A = this chain, B = another copy of it.
Amino acid sequence: MMLTAGASRQGEQLLARLYLALIHAPVYNKNRMVVATSITNLDLHDIARSAATYDVAGYFVIHPAEAQQALARRIMGFWQEGYGAEYNPDRKEAFAKVRLVGTLAEAIAQIQLIEGRPPLRVATDARKYPNTVSYAEMRTRIEEGEEPILLLFGTGWGLLQEDVEKADFILEPIYGPVEYNHLSVRSAAAIILDRLRGH
């Protein structure tokens, strides 16, 4: 399993290894019912490209349904082999970050196997929780380079409250100058990676 990072622009500086998980089930729907969402083409593409840009060691796409995982493999296969890989090698490089797994526990087990220790779980949510941590604080923790870190993103209407509460840290919701904060998960992931690891 290839999980090596790209050549560092910061020379020899060691950063904590960062992982990202996109959870398709269980998540909330609009009416706060627990559901599974579908894997989408652009969640794979956009977040894999952001992961490659910000030196994420692994992007876990979590869906319990084998048919959904097969769909994701088919989409990525086009860009990883044959014509697609030749036409756009950048996409191949981005998809090399992707790991398809059935559950969050499985993602954590894989990270533990690679890193020799479980990751700190860092939840992201558009809602406020009492124990949120600032981006500056989390960035410092990453730069100290101690523990692997797993950023958790929910599709649909977000992560289950119990998954957020079980996390070691919860990042602040993202705001601009107004109250509207309904970013797509693709945009939120890009912004959060930039806040934590932007140059």
Return the contact of A182 from the options B94, B177, B199 (Cβ within 8 A): B94
Q: Hey, which bits of chain A sit against chain B, CB under 8 A?
A: 5-10, 15, 30, 42, 45-46, 49-50, 52-55, 87-88, 90-91, 93-94, 174-184, 186-191, 193-195, 197-199
Return the contact of A177 from the options B55, B179, B195 (Cβ within 8 A): B55
Return the contact of A10 from the options B49, B177, B191, B193 (Cβ within 8 A): B177
- Shortest Cβ distance from A90 into B: residue: B182
Return chain B residues, CB-CB under 8 Å to A46: 184, 186-187
Using A94-B180, A175-B199, A191-B194 as known contacts, list a sample of 8 further A-B pairs with CB atoms less than 8 Å apart, ordered by residue number in A: A8-B178, A46-B187, A50-B184, A52-B180, A55-B177, A174-B199, A184-B186, A186-B186
Return chain B residues, CB-CB under 8 Å to A55: 176-178
Return chain B residues, CB-CB under 8 Å to A7: 178-179
A53 touches B198 (CB 8 A): no
CA distance A50 to B5 in the complex (A): 29
Return chain B residues, CB-CB under 8 Å to A194: 174, 176, 191, 194-195
Sampled A-B contacts (30; CB under 8 Å): A6-B178, A6-B179, A8-B178, A9-B175, A9-B178, A10-B177, A15-B177, A30-B87, A42-B184, A45-B184, A49-B182, A50-B184, A50-B187, A52-B180, A53-B181, A54-B177, A90-B182, A91-B182, A93-B180, A94-B182, A174-B194, A174-B199, A175-B198, A176-B199, A177-B197, A186-B187, A186-B190, A187-B187, A188-B190, A191-B194
